[in-house]
Chains A and B, each alone.
Chain A
Amino acid sequence: MYGYKGRILYVNLTSKKVEVTNVSDDFYGEYLGGSGVAAKIFLDHYKKGLTYDSEYNPIIIMTGPMAGTPTPSVSRFIISSLSPLTGIWGESNCGGFFASYLKFASFDGIVITGKSENPVYLFASKGKAEIRDASKLWGLDTYKTEEFLKKENGKDVEVISIGPAGENLVPYASVVNRRGHLAGRTGMGVVFGSKKLKAVVVQGNEPVQIAKPSKYKEYLKEIFEVYKENPTMAALKDSGSNSSYDLSLQTGDLPLRNWSKGVWPEGDFLGSVKYKDKILVGIETCYSCPVACKRVVEIKDGPYKIEKGPGPEYETVGEFGGMLQIADIEFIAYVNDIANRMGFDTITAGSTIAFLGDLHENGVIDKSFLHGVDLKFGDKDAVLQTVKSIADRTGIGELVSLGSERIANLIGEKAKDYITTVKGLEAPMHDPRGNFALALGYGLSVRGACHVSSLVFPVSSGFMYFPEIPELTDFGDPCSEKLKPELAVKAEDFGMFFNHSAIWCIFGGAALNATQVVTLFNLVTGFDYSLEDILKRGEKIWYLKRGVDNLFGIESKDDRLPKKLKTPLSEGFTQDLAPNDEKMLSKYYKLRDIDSITGKPSKEKLVSIGLSDLLQLLYEG
């Protein structure tokens, strides 16, 4: 088999059974890889009443066919499961080196069910695997865990692990590779924790076979030239994901003070210049990526002293800077270090703290609700005290660890005006008030508010360009509803292939157009797909995930933005602007053949795209 290894490892932590299943070309040809394959496997595991901590809830770790090849920016993996945070389809995507090594160990993916009584880790090497004791590791942070496992198994292994946040079932716990590569969103680390699975270790050196090696080699030369000439890649190399910070702040893309302000002059202190001056000491990359956007930082002295390690990404700078109104890059790097070690998502954590700060400022809650912490915007000490208590869930940490939606449910109706979630997931650091397409991007994202769940944001923000797909080329004024539903449909269909199944990085992948990625995919796998073929498969994968959400109770009412994200601001670049999501959604449902009340795809649609198994579950129970 080319690209793929044709083998998925199945592990049951209750029975301790480890099995390898061979996968056919036809199956991969249909579901492509990554989260396309994961969604199909998840559906096959679906049982009514499934909860995140049920032993049947699978953790599905999947790579794409390009992982482990020299193709740039695509050696990534996804982790999927029922999300502990949102109760629907959970999915998180991660770079680093783990995906390649999983392929070198002779597996495309791992499916883990069951629950262990004692802490364990999984060791997979050369087509075999075993479950090993991890009692000594329980309680360690992700940095120490990885260090220990490398000592125990040799330097040539790759590790993903959870920290104390995952062990203590913080609903937005993450899974971490090499300290700074995180599968951060939707709480995949909690599913690990609930199964007492501390880590997965992979080792191997079996190369990935390329279907057309000489043509691939030639084509790759062209592709590397594309990377060299691309100014966006140069910006990413120079300043990482935070290279977009200054522009985001200026154009109203960066939410401020829990999405309530449009101007923040102090925010200038968090841009790429200050980042470099104050904390940057090096750069890192993911397997076979010439972009090297990962930052290495160090703070030698002062209250926020940290050893050399991964630096904060744009999203973290946005959350702990703009959202919480703290213009101190050293502070943010310090918080980032805690989150990486403890293993939790800085987007949900930052948004939840900002949400509480907003409620507090507006008198909806008082200090006693906050366990005595005087949480205010701009108050570094209070924010730090809060962050430090998340992983062990003590004091205010017990509250913040719930995430904003559960807290809002505790408070009741009054909290609804302050919340920033869609389908239970906090919106990231991009504002739909200056980019109306994003209202659909967030609203329809299958994992809850997310800017990379489809290509709506990367395309509408101008970061990506696929001139081969008309709907992704001409989509009108950013602040009009016109043509946005059409954009959303194609951005979802192509995105299911691009950054979900083939798993191109949303940053590094932006150097390429649709022809280039499809050509690379064909040269590696030996498939001979046209862009049309790819879009058709992407469409099927999207409906599959949407259907999974419907199985867990998602209806069309859940596709709306929260009030906070569609209330116009009285100042700044996006002053007086806000998207009308109702208008866009009604057109969108028609295009998708989705019922505007139940939110389910029609039976006819499901039959026409070959999802009769989903139809049965959705309509016949």
Chain B
Amino acid sequence: MVFRDPEELKQVLGGFFEKVSQDKEFAKKFAQSKILIRFNYSEPELSITLDMTDGENIIVTYNDKEKRSEVDMDMKADIAHKFWLGKLNLTMAITRKMMIVRGPVPRVLAFIPVLAPTYQMYKDYLKEIGREDLIEVG
């Protein structure tokens, strides 16, 4: 397991999403999808919701049961980490059900073009928070 417990997962992956949300220009690109997407992680367990419904901002919440998601993606936290490092074969992960998509697939497809720069951002972010060790773990 890459992340020891939900707290560490929240700090690293949650922290990353929050950082992305603070980058106004980038957040806007992401938010163009106007989607409310929820990542349900296991091992350790945590759900992170990204609310981009206003088309401008990304609002990050944790274990949020209030907001109704349009797309849910279920995966192990290790898979998510590998994904943001750009080391995961997304097609294979979906085919082999390592990542389960619930909700309209086209909404997820529309998201893919904006992802490219995030892989490097995640690596930079890990360095920034002193967690280079996680770059090799993926």
Contacts and interface: CB of A to CB of B under 8 A. Distances in A.
A69 to B, nearest CB: 25
Interface residues of A, number: 24
A594 interface: no
Given A232-B95, A465-B95, A239 B106 contact: yes
B95 A238 contact: no
B109 A246 contact: yes
A464 interface: yes
Contacts of A465: 92, 95-96
Main secondary structure of the interface of B (DSSP, over half): helix
A273 B108 CA distance: 11
A238 B109 contact: yes
A462 interface: yes
B112 A250 contact: yes
Interface residues of B, number: 19
Interface string A222-254: 000000000110110011000110110011000
B113 interface: yes
Nearest to B33: A273
Nearest to B92: A462
Nearest to B116: A250
Given A231-B105, A238-B106, A246-B109, A461 B116 contact: no
A525 interface: no
B129 interface: no
B112 A461 contact: no
Contact of B89 (A231, A244, A272, A462): A462
Interface string B80-110: 0000001001111111100001001110011
Contact of A231 (B86, B94, B113): B94
A273 B113 contact: yes
A234 B95 CA distance: 12
B95 A235 contact: no
B98 to A, nearest CB: 10
Contacts of B90: 247, 462
Interface in B21-42: none
Interface of B: 86, 89-96, 101, 104-106, 109-110, 112-113, 115-116
Given A231-B101, A247-B91, A465-B95, 13 more contacts: A231-B105, A235-B106, A235-B109, A238-B105, A238-B109, A250-B116, A272-B110, A461-B89, A462-B90, A462-B91, A462-B92, A462-B95, A463-B91
Interface of A: 231-232, 234-235, 238-239, 243-244, 246-247, 250-251, 268, 271-273, 461-465, 478, 510, 573
